[in-house]
Amino acid sequence: MRYFKSDNTATVSEEILQAIVDANSGAAVPYGTDRWSERLNTVFGEFFGTEVRVFAVSSGTAANSLALATVCPPWGTVLTHAEAHIERDECGAPEFFTGGAKLSLVTGPGAKISAADLAARLDWFEPHVHGVQPRALSITQATERGAIYTPAEIAALAKIAHARGMRVHMDGARFANALVAQKVSPADLTWKSGVDVLSFGVIKNGGMNAEAVVFFDPALVADFEFRRKRAGQLFCKGRYASVQLLAYVETGVWRRNAERANALAARIAAAAPALLSEPLATNQVFMKMGQQRIDALGQQGFAFYPWGPVGSGEGRFVCSWDTPEEDVDALCAALSTGGT
Amino acid sequence: MRYFKSDNTATVSEEILQAIVDANSGAAVPYGTDRWSERLNTVFGEFFGTEVRVFAVSSGTAANSLALATVCPPWGTVLTHAEAHIERDECGAPEFFTGGAKLSLVTGPGAKISAADLAARLDWFEPHVHGVQPRALSITQATERGAIYTPAEIAALAKIAHARGMRVHMDGARFANALVAQKVSPADLTWKSGVDVLSFGVIKNGGMNAEAVVFFDPALVADFEFRRKRAGQLFCKGRYASVQLLAYVETGVWRRNAERANALAARIAAAAPALLSEPLATNQVFMKMGQQRIDALGQQGFAFYPWGPVGSGEGRFVCSWDTPEEDVDALCAALSTGGT
Amino acid sequence: MRYFKSDNTATVSEEILQAIVDANSGAAVPYGTDRWSERLNTVFGEFFGTEVRVFAVSSGTAANSLALATVCPPWGTVLTHAEAHIERDECGAPEFFTGGAKLSLVTGPGAKISAADLAARLDWFEPHVHGVQPRALSITQATERGAIYTPAEIAALAKIAHARGMRVHMDGARFANALVAQKVSPADLTWKSGVDVLSFGVIKNGGMNAEAVVFFDPALVADFEFRRKRAGQLFCKGRYASVQLLAYVETGVWRRNAERANALAARIAAAAPALLSEPLATNQVFMKMGQQRIDALGQQGFAFYPWGPVGSGEGRFVCSWDTPEEDVDALCAALSTGGT
Amino acid sequence: MRYFKSDNTATVSEEILQAIVDANSGAAVPYGTDRWSERLNTVFGEFFGTEVRVFAVSSGTAANSLALATVCPPWGTVLTHAEAHIERDECGAPEFFTGGAKLSLVTGPGAKISAADLAARLDWFEPHVHGVQPRALSITQATERGAIYTPAEIAALAKIAHARGMRVHMDGARFANALVAQKVSPADLTWKSGVDVLSFGVIKNGGMNAEAVVFFDPALVADFEFRRKRAGQLFCKGRYASVQLLAYVETGVWRRNAERANALAARIAAAAPALLSEPLATNQVFMKMGQQRIDALGQQGFAFYPWGPVGSGEGRFVCSWDTPEEDVDALCAALSTGGT
């Protein structure tokens, strides 16, 4: 099988695995107070060019849910896109962690939220006790349909959100892919544009089992640590998570891996540009090719997801940091030779 | 510093680290459907000598809380010891995961629950809507004061619990230490004695960041998988957790590590038997030695926890699978030269 | 002021107030085991023509939320209309009571859900742990835009829901208004059409502070009583709630009040049929009349809600059981003289 | 039967019923913004001699739980007596409303918490993420064994609590009984002694179905109104609840009713002082009389609760505001003629 289902089928980058092996020596104090964990704020602070507070957790779902629970009370609501991972793929985790806050959905192409649509959706909420109150905006970078938000787009959304007293959360499961796709800095794409808290994705792009929650305002951290502990997300042997995050940032593996995944996706898109159902921006390729072709590719050993509702004829190909070149060659060939 | 604070300051066993490295090749389907994860039920089934359902999670707190949430509704109550980890050291995680179930406490020496005390405590509950209903018993093996439950003791407790329609949960954070301390089988200490669901500890005894929840009755699993996903505890790259569990069981590292930790603790206990404040059973040594001596040991570079309320004069020494012999030698020497 | 804001501005019907006064004599056992409360199942069973289980609560929000929590687990989702009261006007109460279940929204005219739209929405859900699972359908009778579901429409929805293993909840805050608007029986509109649990509205139609949750399948009741107690919704002096429900059903006040409210609304609709933005069915009248006219009516002393998004120019007039004839006369006159 | 089971078997006082009847005229804006509801803060402010914020709810359980949820986060803990109503008789409602906060129990005679016991219990909590954090103290006035806290005792407790950053909640289900039993003012017994939020009981002492939550610091109210709405505790026809609270306070029915109930209890205590198992303070009489006598009284038609664990031989007699004199006569006679 040639895997294009998701970047979570990939292996762990050598740099990260080596960091784990290197850390496996001598006693270390537990629960995130070890000498590796204590470097997180500094290393991420340098990466983002500002003071940050960084916390390791075991999954993107946990990162998103804990971040949202910190900024949205149970009677609050999180504005997000109808196709967002937090809405569609986390089995209600945000509702669980927040104590029942509601996700209020915005639609729009590319799984992106436009400033106009956000403003229009917010008009529905009134400042009385009968309705939930908008307290957070959550956007995905890159989106669930591979699109990216520019700093200007983020800033426009954040301006609206902040004016309503809302906080801005970014689900950055594929943050590095979105970052290298633009000529901007980590700062540009986050706090400088108004992001308050970021789920900083590591696992899909070469990590093993640690993601980071990054707060750009220390005051926002509030009770986060109690929430994390209470959720079973405080690592006992904390070093093995923290070194993953450190290696990811410090060795530059984040950039190398994201660039390679994006580049492979670009090759696929170029092989059949007429089929593209979304403009290519990162490492996800969406193509409208019809069910027959979807079936044919499956029979040829390409593993990927049909996308959208049944019968849409659309498929999604995701390239990982370690997707074999020959798998991409084969897919490009299969796509360019056309079909029905 | 010589560390005797907890077995969570230890490193990861070579066998487990090697299993991770070995698994780091080629694409693997995500979310626990990879070929390693699919072996969990079989391998653990052989270990326990019965059909089991096994699920990996990232911490002992998550294991306990998800297990309890599966067997105890929000209006239920979990009977447990007042010194239990789920009561004292998880920041209310069981309450969070269960949707607000209450922990009802039983006291008793050694952090153990006796059958008589359990029965007496249960007498307080009435089958009406005004009070929470007993739905689960949670016991710790080995206990938070290093004691062990024998199969007969477990069976006596389980009989009482089952007669009330309650399920029996075992917090086995140090299950291996309790197991090798007795001439019994994993089966004897669990399902044969009436345990319904086990938090199977791996991390403290040589693992990295995966524990297992083991159900001995497939019917009990119910909605566990939804709860796990929803809690952010379903690993995206599942193989890296599952191989830890597999290596732990299959290579026998569980036995070797637990036996060594227990043996080291036995040496410490033997160095100052008069100070023992609990009978030694596993890898935790409790000694009543007075504050002066506690302070003196600290100044000599021994890191350990004073135990109990302020001024108790008690300390706890925990040996890990990788505690250096020379650290134990030094502690034994310091203790035997003794004097307050 | 002449009130057309909502039927919750009304007084309590004499029959119901008298029943309270009559019950105010002698000691009565508390918490719903008094002799009045014990008649609830019988009296409602006769009303609905089948065996039912009836529980009094203090508000429609509590009725809806407790009913939904009983049939939908935390990882479940309730399909409902985007304009439903449970989505828009209960400040997230269903999420609170269910432990974080998600409301999944369906749109459609008249705040009604069509069978086709329900089926299409359900297509999005997959039976895996990554997404919430459809467990309940909640429809409002009459809807938030005054429309009614016929028995055939309910049956079509229920058939789809039941085929997916979902339960059907009816928010009957204005159940009597919907019932008298059709030539059908209470049975036709509920269990015979597939409704599993009903929030039976009393307060808006002449009650004081008691609503009923009616289960048409005793097996569904499950843990409802624990949930009610735990929510602070079990009345201590239960008789004063139960007699409201009994008087409402037994004296026929439900029919008389609903018929009057509907008839008054019909007069308003007839006064300016060209303005109607929804077909009139019950006691709610929706008119598109422009902002100028809305303002003018307000200045003339008519209290009513502008409806929909800002600038829609729509208004809602609700008639209560006790709306004065002269207020309706005045409104009809104001509407028929037309134009700003 | 002659009822001494609880004061919740009583009827509603004429003054309160009349207030309801009087309010039953004309339209009133809903959800607590009617002209009666808007007087609550003023009337209660005069009663307590300070600025207060008052909210009506439908039960004592709701009052307690909402008050506690407002001052205690999910990872907090409420210190309370092991026999407290919130621990024993509310089916986990505080855990539900708080999102899973823990109740941490203190023991002591008379169901009272002493300052020394509170301080000792607080010593167990450490300011780290592994354990829940003390955020509230909840005391019952009068206690579940009929005892009262004096202003000095409350002040001593509050001083300890406030020093730890905790808030003080008083469960005043029988507040009036405790108040008239002492020569003190409502202010003395609450805010002047350090109480931050009070569940002000009305129902047991002559009310129908409304209790009040009284905040003595407006800043504490915070999100209370969202929580109340979300819990289904915001009355739609708010006037019928508010007039109960107003009449209770303004007519002096609180004092008359409580004095009578206490006086009746005093007669019972005086009839068999040797049997008293608690000093008499309010309207609850506890007597240790042996199982035979308990059975005999039951056969003579006295309805009351045996108390404590099975076989304790203790019984509780509660007098209501409307307990018939002749019932008390009969009980006194039965008690004074002795028995086994």
Say what the pLDDT of residue D87 is.
98
- pLDDT-based confidence at residue C340 (cuts at 50, 70, 90): very low
The rounded mean pLDDT for chain D is 96
Say what the pLDDT of residue D340 is.
43
Give the mean pLDDT of B134-155: 98
pLDDT tens digits, B9-58: 999 999 999 999 999 999 999 998 899 999 999 999 999 999 999 999 99
ipTM for the predicted complex: 0.96
Say what the pLDDT of residue D338 is.
61
Say what the pLDDT of residue A314 is.
97
Say what the pLDDT of residue D311 is.
85
pLDDT tens digits, A268-286: 999 999 999 999 999 999 9
Sequence length of chain B is 340
Which contacts (CB < 8 Å, 24+ apart) does range B246-251 have?
Answer: B246/B19, B246/B36, B246/B39, B246/B40, B246/B43, B247/B15, B247/B16, B247/B18, B247/B19, B248/B13, B248/B15, B248/B16, B248/B202, B248/B205, B248/B206, B248/B207, B249/B43, B249/B44, B249/B47, B250/B43, B251/B15
**Residues of chain D positioned with their CB less than 8 A from the CB of C11:** 24-27
CA distance A206 to chain C (A): 22
Chain D neighbours (≥3 Cβ pairs under 8 A) are: A, B, C
Task: Please judge whether A74 and D130 are an interchain contact, meaning their C-beta atoms are less than 8 angstroms apart.
Answer: no
Nearest to A240 among B209, B234, B235 (CB): B209
**Residues of chain D positioned with their CB less than 8 A from the CB of A226:** 73, 75, 129, 133
Nearest alpha carbon to residue B67 among B230, B221, B248: B221
pLDDT tens digits, A101-155: 999 999 999 999 999 999 999 998 999 999 999 999 999 999 999 999 999 999 9
Strands (E), chain D: 2-3, 53-57, 76-81, 102-106, 133-140, 167-172, 197-200, 211-215, 284-288, 302-303, 305-307, 314-318
Nearest alpha carbon to residue A148 among A12, A30, A276, A262: A262
Give the mean pLDDT of B189-197: 98
With 0.95 as the threshold, say if the pTM is over it: yes
Q: Residue A94 is encoded by which pair of tokens?
A: 């945000």
Nearest to A91 among C105, C131, C309 (CB): C131
CA–CA separation, B60 vs B233, rounded Å?
A: 12
- pLDDT-based confidence at residue A340 (cuts at 50, 70, 90): very low
C66-to-A264, B327, C69, C78, C201 alpha-carbon distances in Å: 52, 59, 5, 13, 14
**Residues of chain D positioned with their CB less than 8 A from the CB of B103:** 102
Nearest alpha carbon to residue D20 among C9, C320, C18: C18
B311 or C230, which is more confident? C230
Task: Please judge whether A95 and C77 are an interchain contact, meaning their C-beta atoms are less than 8 angstroms apart.
Answer: no
* C234 inside 8 A of chain B by CB: yes
- pLDDT-based confidence at residue A338 (cuts at 50, 70, 90): low
pLDDT tens digits, A167-206: 999 999 999 999 999 989 999 999 999 999 999 999 999 9
pLDDT in tens, chain D (340 residues): 999 999 999 999 999 999 999 999 999 999 988 999 999 999 999 999 999 999 999 999 999 999 999 999 999 999 999 999 999 999 999 999 999 999 999 999 999 999 999 999 999 899 999 999 999 999 999 999 999 999 999 999 999 999 999 999 999 999 999 999 998 999 999 999 999 999 999 999 999 999 999 999 999 998 999 999 999 999 999 999 999 999 999 999 999 999 999 999 999 999 999 999 999 999 999 999 999 999 999 999 999 999 987 789 999 999 999 999 999 999 999 999 865 4
**Alpha-helical runs (H) found in chain B:** 14-23, 40-48, 60-71, 85-88, 93-98, 115-122, 151-163, 175-180, 218-221, 224-230, 239-250, 253-271, 291-299, 325-337
Task: Please judge whether B95 and D102 are an interchain contact, meaning their C-beta atoms are less than 8 angstroms apart.
Answer: yes
Nearest alpha carbon to residue D81 among D101, D122, D110: D110
CA distance A27 to chain B (A): 5
Whether B337 shows a pLDDT value over 90: the answer reads no
The rounded mean pLDDT for chain A is 96
Helix, strand, coil tally for chain B in percent (to 5): 45, 15, 40
The rounded mean pLDDT for chain B is 96
Whether A339 shows a pLDDT value over 80: the answer reads no
Quick check: bond before D142 cis, omega within 30? Answer: yes
Chain A neighbours (≥3 Cβ pairs under 8 A) are: B, C, D
Nearest to B12 among A24, A30, A65 (CB): A24
* C132 inside 8 A of chain A by CB: yes
Parallel, antiparallel, or unpaired: how do β-strands D76-81 and D2-3 relate?
unpaired
As to burial, measured by CB atoms within 10 angstroms (0-12 exposed, 13-18 middle, 19+ buried), residue D219 is: exposed
CA–CA separation, B56 vs B67, rounded Å?
A: 12
